[in-house]
Amino acid sequence: MAGIKNRFRLGLALTCAIQMPAFANDPLSAIEWLEKQPKQIVVPLEAPQITIDEPAVAGSVTTPKVTVTPLGAPVRAAAGLLPSNVTGLPRDLWQGSDAEAVSTLIKDLNAEKLPALQELLFTLILAEANPPRDAQNSEFLRARLRKLLSLGALDPAAALLTRADPAHPDLFDLYFDVSLLSGDPDAPCKALKAQPSLSRDFASRIFCDVQLKDWDNAALTLSTADAIGALEPTDVALLERFLDPELFEQIPPAPQSLSVLRFRLFEAAGESLPTTSLPRAFAATDLSGDAGWKPQLDAAERLARVGAISENRLLGIYTSRRPSASGGIWDRIDAVQRLDIALKSDDPVAILKQLRRAWEKMQEVQLEVPFAALFARDLLRLPNKGADADLITKIALLSPIYEQAAERRTENVTLIMAQSIAIGEPKAQSTLPLSQTLTDSFSGAGAPQTLTDIAGKARLGEAILRAVALAISGAEGDPATLQNGLAFLRSVGLEDTVRRAALQLILLEQGF
């Protein structure tokens, strides 16, 4: 700090008066000149005594509730990546719902254990649809973006922000964070430079000045903000080092509250923080591979597990290099690479030799569903015989082409039940847990009337979220709740989602 303070100490009093951003003072009136006009004395005219013959009027007035929406907000709030002709969901998906209620549902929903329901959640978040009528500014859009960030889905979040025209005060903080995490902060920084009212955060302003090479203004703003106590000591130290990399002052330890900007400033200071214990959004920064292959692999597995990246991207990272060590993740990478090579050889013996090992390694990290999506089609080309025939059937039933596995021969009770689910005609097996519950979910009855009523009031999205929450809760040990959730989803046409969720419930709990 010494270099910067000495440079600007003499002019500090003047700069505090001149250079402080407008928001540091009390807000000005939108029509300030009215407040500066001298008070005028208005003498009312004497009212004439006139009798008017009119009907009686009401003794009181009821003022209707008025919702104020800034220009452009409806377009931003309705932003989405998936049009109705892709999702099959109506434009009034959210329109009749309470914005706060559905925002809370999205925030609290945890569908990680059932990838089919997690995929449905992504579809709802990314759907083009009118927002709730009472949504203020971009409140509902912010809830959707925050959920994407919590799952580490940076690319969809960035694309959704682009559709929403994010250079607005109600979206700028998320725009800034997503851009920093994606490694491309120039666009929000240029927007902030052109329109300083986008953010009240001094740290963001200083960072952007440095990013845009406006060194003098960055130093001046930092000195001023430090002098008036507008920045925490950690931020001052990090920004000093960012502004002047030649400083040798000690970097403070990482605080418990780690913002995206602080994370990037630690990285810029040569003190990169490991992302394994940080929220998933930070893990996405390792996907580039700049931090090394091991962090990239860890991040890819962590994000693929919740559907934040595709299985093809996971495989691309898995096969980008040869492992130079053994044990742990390296054995898993080796097993998947060997299977991938064997599949390209079209040698059934070589394929089956590698299959079970690769499958067991992927089970260790709950990546069975991405594995199935990657390899099921090739595996179904193998003869339906031998010790691994049932394993191939199971893998295919967990993939998007589950129906193709429905006719394969098997004597395994679990697989027979799963095959009946795959064609939408479950046949209960009394020896299997949840067997009767899943069968009843397809019976055509049992959808909760409360959810049906909600869906009929332009609140279909809310009803689906509530049904997903029921199914997830029920999967933890409440069969009736599970049945209610799945039955409702099926009643509104989400047949594929229900079949895949049911297959995951019955197959991922059974060992082979």
| Helix (H), strand (E), coil (C) string for 108-129 | HCCCCCCHHHHHHHHHHHHECC
**pLDDT greater than 50 at residue 435:** yes
Q: Which of 512, 495, 508, 472 is nearest to 422 (CA)?
A: 495
Domain boundary among 295, 318, 341: 318
Distance between CA atoms of residues 490 and 499, nearest Å: 9
Compute the half-sphere exposure of residue 159: CA atoms within 13 Å on the CB side of its CA.
12
The b/e string for 316-345 (b: 16+ C-beta within 10 A; e otherwise) is ebbeeeebeeeeebeebbbbbbbbbebbee
Look up residue 150 and give its two tokens: 């919590």
Q: Find out whether 416 and 431 touch, Cβ atoms under 8 Å.
A: no
Residue with tokens 């109705």: 84
Asked if residue 359 has pLDDT above 50, the reply is yes
Task: Give the separation between CA 441 and CA 486, rounded to whole angstroms.
Answer: 6
More confident residue, 6 or 425: 425
Cα torsion angle, 457, 459, 465, 469, sign: negative
* The predicted structure's pLDDT at residue 421: 97
- Each residue's pLDDT tens digit, 446-502: 799 999 999 999 999 999 999 999 999 999 989 999 999 999 999 999 999 999 999
User: Which whole number is the average pLDDT over 207-224?
Assistant: 97
Phi, psi of 164 (to 5 degrees): -90, 0
Phi, psi for 195 (deg, rounded to 5): -135, 80
CA 195 to chain centre: 27
Quote the pLDDT of residue 430: 77
Asked if residue 336 is part of any domain, the answer here is no
Contact 448, 406 (CB under 8 A): no
Is the confidence at residue 214, as pLDDT, over 60? Answer: yes
| Structure-token pair, residue 348 | 């059934």
Instruction: Provide the token pair at 357.
Output: 């090992």
Please provide the DSSP assignment of 3-57 as one string: HHHHHHSTTHHHHHHHTS-GGGSPPPPTTHHHHHSPP----PPPPP---------
- Band of pLDDT at residue 256, cut at 50, 70 and 90: confident
Residue 469 lies in a domain: yes
- b/e 293-312 (16+ beta carbons within 10 angstroms → b): bebbbbbbbbbbbbbbbebe
**For residues 31 and 110, which has the higher predicted lDDT (pLDDT)?**
110
DSSP three-state, residue 82: strand
Q: If we measure between CA atoms, which residue out of 200, 206, 208, 199 comes closest to residue 180?
A: 208
3-class secondary structure for 427-481? CCCCCCCCHHHHHHHCCCCCCCHHHHHHHCCCCHHHHHHHHHHHHHHHHCCCHHH
Q: Number of H helices and number of E strands within the chain?
A: 28, 0
Measured from the Cβ of residue 212, the count of other Cβ atoms closer than 10 Å reads 16
- Residue 125 in domain: yes
**Which residue has better confidence, 3 or 84?**
84
**Does residue 337 fall inside a structural domain?**
no
pLDDT-wise least confident of 6-15, 189-198, 219-228: 6-15
190 domain residue, yes or no: no
Residue 35: pLDDT over 50: no
Provide the percentage of residues in the chain whose pLDDT is more than 90. Answer: 75
Q: Is residue 479 part of a domain?
A: yes
| Contact criterion met (CB below 8 Å) for 207 and 221 | no
Per the rule left: phi > 0, alpha: psi between -120 and 50, beta: everything else, 216 is: alpha
Residue 209 burial (C-beta neighbours within 10 Å; 0-12, 13-18, 19+): buried
Phi, psi at residue 295, to the nearest 5°?
A: -60, -35
Phi, psi of 161, deg, nearest 5: -65, -40
Residue type, 157: A
Chain mean position to CA 402 = 27
Range of the domain at 103: 71-151+153-169+176-183
pLDDT average, residue stretch 333-350: 95
> Is 188 a domain residue?
no
Please determine, for residue 191, whether its predicted confidence score (pLDDT) is greater than 90. Answer: yes
Average pLDDT, the chain: 86
Q: Model confidence at 232, in pLDDT bands (50, 70, 90)?
A: very high
How many domains in the chain?
Answer: 3
Q: Given a cut of 70, is residue 47 above it in pLDDT?
A: no
Q: How far apart are CA 353 and CA 331, in angstroms?
A: 15
Q: What's the whole-model pTM score?
A: 0.84
Q: State the average pLDDT over residues 154-175.
A: 95
**510 pLDDT tier (thresholds 50, 70, 90):** low
CA distance 297 to 126: 26
Which whole number is the average pLDDT over 246-263?
A: 86
Radius of gyration of the chain from its Cα atoms, rounded to whole angstroms = 30
pLDDT above 80: residue 134: yes
* Residue 270 domain flag: no
What's 169's DSSP letter?
T
